[in-house]
């Protein structure tokens, strides 16, 4: 196979051993961003961001070229559900792939090429579905709409990249912002990686993020110029995600008012007289504890974070005390910590108290609590005329900052937060307990007027005169 690459046109010459008719020419129209995706040699590549960037077509073209370049190679293309694949990538492949060099078999959901390569279409609707690939081996795994998958599904499937051949072992993904996996995808590919620059992690594996917007896809812009107008007419949140590829806001986001430039501040020295509180959400899977200072106007500043898993209660209390070097007015915690265990008759609250961390019960009304958090986050104009908010978070509280904007609306009750992915809920739950609790504003101690010895003597002499 030979490839002649000319800007936005890729011509593939297939030699006679691949087709009975001798040399076959396939002209593929691609964008520059699709070209970057195809040429990526990174272990993990993410392509996309905004809608209309040509992600799915890029996946199909790349899978075809990989299959032809590496005889007997094995690829897997995944969507969360199989009907999604059938409506999109399978149809695209059937339109694009020459029938003289391969055949799609409906029974196996595979393309079988005459050089021995295969492209399999699969799904992972639930987390347990990954086990159907337990004994499989692939040279390249492709996730379409990666943010629809959980981090567990992605990490598990990495282990299926294996084989005795010397072909590249890659994961190539495409996606828009939003979905159940938005937070972990953002953390893995967006927050730590400069766009279009290879990033090498601590294990030596490489990652690459290739952003793409509808304006990068001139083929779509030429064939459907009104598509851009339709994106521009979307509600603000959806427009930022799908038109601009903004990873800080997306469809289904619960706290769409959250903005780092408003709510996150650099640490500063807190006045001693500001009243300090602690608030925690505890479970063996995660302890999320936060220190909050309240100023004279009852504005809270979340200034310290403890976020650690696998701590029994006594260990959790010890960690909290180790990180506390200030006077704490009280520590709020959810009502479930007051439930007594049948075997000991003690509650988690009792054990915390025995280990030096007395707790005050917080309200656990979910909807009212989340709405209260929204009130604290609501942008407002402060006393100097700039956009601000009642609640501020020090940028050292990295998990709260990560999880809060990643929470989704519950599909059955849009006023509530979705309970999955569960890992995202610990830090926001702790904040919710604080926002539902009654706190007192700081009171600055009034300094007594300074009086000299002479002043006091004169007062004594003149007393009663």
Q: Which of 38-42, 195-199, 252-256, 370-374 is least confident?
A: 252-256
Q: In this prediction, what percent of the chain has a pLDDT beyond 90?
A: 60
Query: Does 225 score more than 70 pLDDT?
Result: no
- Tell me the average pLDDT across 182-210: 91
- Tell me the average pLDDT across 115-121: 96
Q: Which of 135-139, 140-144, 222-226, 250-254 is least confident?
A: 222-226
Top-confidence residue, 151 or 216:
151
Query: Does 328 score more than 70 pLDDT?
Result: yes
Q: Residue 446: CA atoms inside 13 Å, Cβ hemisphere, count?
A: 2
- Tell me the average pLDDT across 302-319: 97
Greatest mean pLDDT range, 92-96, 208-212, 236-240, 284-288:
284-288
- Tell me the average pLDDT across 432-443: 92
Q: Which of 67-81, 186-200, 221-235, 422-436 is least confident?
A: 221-235
pLDDT at 385: 87
pLDDT at 191: 86
* pLDDT band at residue 75 using 50, 70 and 90 as cut-offs: very high
Beta carbons of 116 and 71 less than 8 angstroms apart: yes
> Residue 361 has what DSSP assignment?
E
Beta carbons of 147 and 153 less than 8 angstroms apart: no
CA distance 431 to 206: 35
pLDDT at 85: 86
- Tell me the average pLDDT across 322-349: 93
Query: Does 16 score more than 50 pLDDT?
Result: no
- Share the mean pLDDT of the chain: 86
Query: Does 17 score more than 50 pLDDT?
Result: no
- Residue whose C-alpha is closest to residue 418's, from 128, 146, 152, 181: 181
Q: Which of 133-137, 179-183, 377-381, 400-404 is least confident?
A: 179-183
In this structure, are strands 264-265 and 206-212 parallel, antiparallel, or unpaired? unpaired
Query: Does 11 score more than 70 pLDDT?
Result: no
pLDDT at 15: 46
pLDDT at 423: 87
The answer to whether the peptide bond before residue 142 is cis (omega within 30 degrees of 0) is no
pLDDT at 86: 86
- Residue whose C-alpha is closest to residue 155's, from 178, 181, 190, 118: 181
Q: With b meaning 16 or more CB within 10 Å and e meaning fewer, what string describes 148-178?
A: bbbbebbebbeebbeeeeebbbbbbbbbbbb
pLDDT at 60: 92
* pLDDT band at residue 169 using 50, 70 and 90 as cut-offs: very high
Query: Does 460 score more than 60 pLDDT?
Result: no
pLDDT at 342: 75
Identify each DSSP E strand in 273-371 by its residue range.
275-283, 286-294, 300-308, 330-333, 360-361
Look up the pTM and report it.
Answer: 0.66
Beta carbons of 31 and 9 less than 8 angstroms apart: no
* pLDDT band at residue 176 using 50, 70 and 90 as cut-offs: confident
- Tell me the average pLDDT across 269-286: 96
Query: Does 94 score more than 90 pLDDT?
Result: yes
pLDDT at 53: 55
- Tell me the average pLDDT across 320-329: 97
């Amino acid at each position: 196979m030979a490839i002649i690459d000319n800007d936005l046109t890729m011509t593939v010459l297939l030699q006679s051993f691949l087709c009975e008719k001798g040399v076959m020419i396939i002209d593929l129209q691609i964008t520059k961003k699709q070209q970057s995706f195809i040429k990526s040699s990174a272990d993990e590549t993410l392509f996309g961001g905004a809608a209309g960037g040509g992600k799915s077509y890029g996946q199909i073209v790349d899978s075809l070229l990989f299959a032809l370049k590496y005889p007997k190679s094995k690829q897997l293309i995944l969507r969360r559900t199989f009907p999604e694949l059938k409506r999109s990538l399978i149809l695209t492949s059937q339109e694009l792939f020459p029938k003289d060099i391969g055949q799609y078999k409906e029974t196996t959901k595979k393309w079988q090429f005459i050089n021995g390569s295969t492209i399999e279409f699969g799904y992972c609707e639930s987390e347990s579905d990954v086990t159907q690939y337990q004994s499989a081996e692939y040279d390249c795994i492709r996730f379409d709409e990666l943010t629809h998958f959980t981090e567990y599904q992605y990490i598990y499937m990495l282990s299926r990249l294996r084989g005795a051949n010397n072909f590249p072992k890659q994961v190539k993904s495409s996606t828009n912002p939003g979905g159940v996996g938005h937070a972990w995808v953002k953390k893995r590919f967006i927050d730590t990686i400069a766009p279009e620059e290879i990033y090498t992690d601590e294990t030596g594996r490489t990652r690459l993020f290739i952003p793409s917007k509808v304006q990068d896809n001139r083929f779509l812009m030429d064939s459907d110029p009104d598509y851009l107008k339709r994106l521009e007419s979307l509600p603000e949140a959806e427009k930022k995600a799908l038109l601009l590829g903004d990873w800080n806001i997306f469809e289904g986001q619960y706290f769409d008012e959250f903005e780092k430039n408003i709510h996150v501040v650099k640490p500063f020295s807190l006045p001693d007289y500001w009243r300090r509180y602690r608030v925690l959400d505890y479970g063996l899977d995660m302890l999320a504890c936060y220190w909050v200072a309240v100023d004279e106007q009852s504005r809270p500043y979340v200034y310290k974070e403890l976020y650690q898993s696998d701590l029994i209660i006594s260990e959790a209390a010890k960690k909290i005390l180790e990180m506390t070097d200030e006077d704490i007015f009280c520590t709020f915690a959810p009502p479930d910590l007051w439930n007594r265990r049948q075997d000991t008759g003690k509650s988690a609250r009792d054990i915390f108290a025995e280990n030096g961390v007395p707790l005050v019960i917080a309200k656990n009304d979910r909807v009212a609590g989340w709405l209260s958090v929204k009130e604290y986050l609501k942008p407002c104009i402060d006393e100097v005329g700039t956009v601000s908010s009642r609640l501020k978070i020090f940028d050292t509280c990295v998990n709260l900052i990560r999880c809060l904007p990643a929470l989704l609306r519950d599909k059955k009750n849009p006023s509530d937060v979705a309970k999955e992915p569960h890992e995202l809920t610990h830090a926001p739950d702790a904040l919710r307990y604080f926002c539902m609790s009654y706190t007192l504003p700081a009171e600055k101690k009034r300094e007594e007027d300074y009086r000299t010895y002479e002043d006091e003597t004169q007062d004594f002499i003149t007393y009663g005169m």
